Chains A and B, each alone.
Chain A
Amino acid sequence: MTVERLIFGLGLMVIGAPAALMALLGLAAVLGRALAERTVARAVQTAIVVGLTSSVAILILMLVVGRRSVPIDLGHLVSVPHFHFDVKLLFDHLSVPFVILTFVLCGTVSAFAGRYMHREPGFNRFFGLFSVFLVGMLLTSLAGTIGILFAGWELVGLSSALLVGFFHERPMPVRNALRVWTIYRASDAALLIAAILLHQFSGHGDFTQMLGSGAWPEGSALLTHWEAFVVGLLFLIAAAGKSALVPFSGWLPRAMEGPTPSSAIFYGALSVHLGAYLLLRVGPILELSVWLCAIVIALGLITAVFAAIAGHAQTDIKSALAFASLAQVGLIVAEIGAGLRYVALIHILGHACLRTLQFLRAPTLLHDYHRLENAVGRHLPRLPVSWEQHLSPSLRLRLYRFALNRGYFDDFLFRYVARPIQGFFRWCNNLELRWTAWLSGTPAHDAHTTKATSIELDEAA
């Protein structure tokens, strides 16, 4: 058996095992059959172990053979004249570490969640969505074409939004899930337009052809400066939505309504880095435009500063950790803008592992403190006086308000984007209702004339 065929087989197992898991749990949900907790936990463990072993084996083979990039072509999903959708996976220096990180962290979190979610009514639903997330992450990481990346990106978004609303018998998680989904849809739209424009400009949908012949991090995109600027800006919007960069940061603390294991894996470790991963993947496009790189650096730094300030005013541990994550993601994005791709990749790997640990310990934080204090025999020392003590009281107060309101970004988006759109369509709806009432000769349906609904009013409050 040649090395190529071995890698091909292993590559299939990397994606096939989680896909089989998703199919199993999805089929059970569709058929209305609840699987036993132990069965679900074993299936998840098996899929992750198979995937992790295969991806590590691929890494070893690549190192032994000295290959920096191994594309695996699984053929056409569709092929008609002038259009083909290829299923292609790309194992390289960027995707393989990210895939291994995904399996390690998903394995850890699934083992934790098996106990944490024990006898929870939504146990199967949690792992069903978890499997969708896993497949989405793998598809995004391993995508050899922009179409596959988009498919994975969407799966991650869906599972993420539904897990934010996991405790769905309460209205607040559900409202937050809708907010998260709305931002994700905007980011998906930007990614889709970027993908199509990139396809049109370069004539390819394949990363290896779009981004030049060199393996990651080398390669140069076959675009003009102007094309690179437009496409890169769209990729940046997509990344900003997914990684909660400014001005989309408002959804990140809202996403903490989900169960702790999903918060850990999504907003501490993997999903929040997906925007940075996308920017790393399309790095050759970014570097074609100095202005674009400057924007990326500026956005990253603004996000980092904002998250550092906002994190200071959080009163619950998960929100504080979310902003701490965001500060690091901002720095990672700035590193990408500065062209430090390996630094950014290593930063992602280290940060994701640390933050997962912190999130998983978050539910027992007080218990850990008590243990430490008991061990030390006195209260733990307070933090030293921080930089904000040197600011004038009025500036401190303003910064505190700014941090407490999370930079007013949510308010801004609600007031100047969502509300005008909703207001316009409500006005149109009332107009239509009056028109049909006049045509039919019946009074307008009062029940259906739309004002701001109770759900939305609560949200605005």
Chain B
Amino acid sequence: MNAYHSLCLEIAVLIPICGALWIRRLGDTESAQRWSIAIAAGALAAVVLGWIGFVLDSSGNTNAQWSLLGAVAGRHYLSFDSLNVPLLLLVALIYLATIVTTPRTKARRFSFTWTLIAESIALATFSCRDAWLLIVLLTVAVYPPYRELRSRNQSTRVYAIHMIGFVGLLIAGQAMLEAEFAFIDGSSWKALPLLLAILVRSGVAPFHTWVPDLFQRAAFGTALTHVLPMAGVYAAVRLLLPSATAEAIQAIDILSLLTAVYAAGMALVQTDVRRFFSYQFLSQSSLVMVGIGIDDSLGVAGGLAVWLSVGLALAGFGLTLRSVEARCGRLPLDKYHGLYEQLPTLAVFFLLTGLASIGFPGTFGFIGVEMLIGAAVLDSPWIGLAIVCAAAINGVSLMRAYLSLFTGTRHTGTVALRMLPAERIAVLALAALIIGGGLFPQPAIESRYDAAEELRASRIGNVSQTAP
């Protein structure tokens, strides 16, 4: 099996897209959801198989692998490496959990076909290392949320303006990096369009307003699957970091740090639950960018670990919020709703996943945040201080949201709001990963450290090659 891990990856990408074509033919929403669950589970199984093969394959030679694209195009476009292995698992898991927890009431308005297509694109994106193919995939990935906004008769302008800017800057940036322009001296300016593209896609302030807007207008599930894997950060790692100058990385660091604190503060004053979630996400994802920008393996490893932990925790947190919303509608956070007695298990999951996202002890995020802060303090004490402040404010806004939704009054309703088995299984699985990762973090952290070392080695190699 270890000779076929690239093939497994290709199958994981193909399963959802072929499944989407099949589901399109089904008229019944219930059977579409059942098939979608099976297809997303198949994709996850293929990623897991590929991961096992990758771990067992000690040669590390991708070209020795047999793959469909390798046979047809003569090149391995999709492959595992130390960076993307857990990220691919995360992507597959987020899609599966989102599909599983889609309630019947929402299933009619939630497009399983486009969700599966988006999953295919996301899996391909996170397994791609070729710059131009990655740009194509990042461009294509913009479409499913756009289509959904249109189908829901929502304004697409905020999303479209940002995404057009992103795609344009991405293409221009890569072209400028590769071309030799006589009138531009210094690689800092050359990297500027690419840097801006990544800031837009990652939702770094002041280019972040499309994220809360998308969460307000699109289906919660679509917004979650589009932003949670953090494709912008992946683009930064693959496209920008290998050749970025110190100034470009410093710019990312400063802006991401400001975003982390700013978005944490913004989450504190939100009265709409989706906007609250989007700012929590922006704050946490900015910490990933901060880590990746630190000029030290420990900081990069911390950033990569936070990437995983935040992805997992916010997936659970978002799905919990989505389940609450499916039962009670969009609940404002300026009132108490007292849902605890009706939804005790969801309340526990809400708190657990929320705390995990801010790196609470005993959860997977704890060690990642510790590493990140440790490395940041070495880099500059102010960075460490800002990260700690962001985490503290996020903790307060999280508790405020919990208390507002689940306590403060007695909820009176005649309809039973209990968790469905599918929801329980999905959130339990995520909770098990969050707690398990917190109690036994060594394998995950070790793999993130190795990935960080590789990233830094490739960056140092590239920078020394380009140096005069």
Contact = CB atoms under 8 A, between A and B. Distances in A.
Interface string A225-239: 000000000000000
Contact of A432 (B157, B209, B378): B209
Interface in A77-96: 77-83, 85
A155 B269 CA distance: 26
A429 B209 CA distance: 10
A423 B377 CA distance: 30
B335 A455 contact: yes
A185 B367 CA distance: 18
A363 to B, nearest CB: 24
Contacts of B349: 30
Contacts of A177: 399, 403
A428 B157 CA distance: 21
A94 B103 CA distance: 54
A214 interface: no
Interface string B360-404: 111000110011011001100100110011011101100110011
A393 interface: no
A213 to B, nearest CB: 25
B444 to A, nearest CB: 9
Contact of A421 (B265, B340, B403): B265
A392 interface: no
A199 interface: yes
B410 interface: yes
Nearest to B162: A439
Contacts, number: 169
A189 B446 contact: no
Contact of A83 (B157, B268, B374, B404): B374
A279 interface: no
Contacts of A196: 373-374, 377, 384
Contact of A448 (B272, B298, B336, B389): B272
Interface string A19-56: 00000000001111000000000000000000000000
Contact of B400 (A155, A178, A442): A178
A58 interface: no
- Among B158, B361, B371, B410, the most chain A Cβ lie within 10 Å of the Cβ of B361
A423 to B, nearest CB: 9
Given A83-B374, A192-B373, A429 B407 contact: no
Contact of B431 (A30, A77, A447): A30
B401 to A, nearest CB: 10
B333 interface: yes
Interface in A109-148: 121, 147
Task: Sort chain B's interface into a size bin.
Answer: 35 or more
B397 to A, nearest CB: 10
A168 B338 contact: yes
Interface in B277-298: 297-298
A397 interface: no
A234 to B, nearest CB: 11
Contacts of A147: 370
Interface in B328-348: 332-336, 338, 340-341, 344-345, 348
B31 interface: no
Contacts of B393: 185
A186 interface: yes
Contacts of A174: 336, 403, 407-408
Contacts of A103: none
Contact of B403 (A77, A165, A192): A165
A364 interface: no
A169 B269 contact: no
B348 A78 contact: no
A248 B128 CA distance: 52
A426 B400 contact: no
B270 to A, nearest CB: 7
A323 interface: no
Central interface residue in B157, B262, B385, B403, by most chain A CB within 10 Å: B403
Interface string A427-442: 0110010011001111
A303 to B, nearest CB: 23
A181 interface: yes
Contacts of A422: 268-269
B288 to A, nearest CB: 18
Given A196-B377, A440-B213, A425 B155 contact: no
B167 interface: no
A436 B361 contact: no
Contact of B335 (A80, A121, A454): A454
Nearest to A136: B361
Interface in B237-288: 262, 265-266, 268-272, 275
A154 B266 contact: no
B428 interface: yes
B407 to A, nearest CB: 4
Contacts of B403: 165, 168, 174, 177-178
B355 interface: yes
A182 interface: yes
Contacts of A424: 265
B400 to A, nearest CB: 6
A168 B408 contact: yes
Contacts of B377: 196-197, 200
Contact of B333 (A79, A161, A453): A453
A150 interface: yes
A439 B301 CA distance: 38
B445 interface: yes
B297 A82 contact: yes
B345 A30 contact: yes
| Residue picked from B266, B340, B392, most chain A C-beta under 10 Å | B392
A169 B407 contact: yes
B155 A441 contact: yes
Contacts of A421: 265, 268
Contacts of B445: 78, 80
B423 to A, nearest CB: 11
A450 interface: yes
B392 A425 contact: no
Given A155-B361, A425-B266, A425-B268, A189 B384 contact: no
Contacts of B410: 169
B158 to A, nearest CB: 5
Contact of B362 (A82, A151, A432, A441): A151
Contacts of A186: 392
Contact of B388 (A77, A78, A81, A193): A193
Interface of A: 29-32, 76-83, 85, 121, 147, 150-152, 154-155, 158, 161, 165, 168-171, 174, 177-178, 181-182, 185-186, 188-189, 192-193, 196-197, 199-200, 421-422, 424-426, 428-429, 432, 435-436, 439-442, 445, 447-448, 450, 453-456
Give the top 5 A-B pairs by smallest Cβ distance, nearest first.
Answer: A453-B334, A168-B407, A151-B361, A440-B155, A189-B392
9 contacts: A80-B446, A83-B298, A158-B360, A200-B377, A429-B270, A439-B161, A453-B333, A454-B334, A455-B335
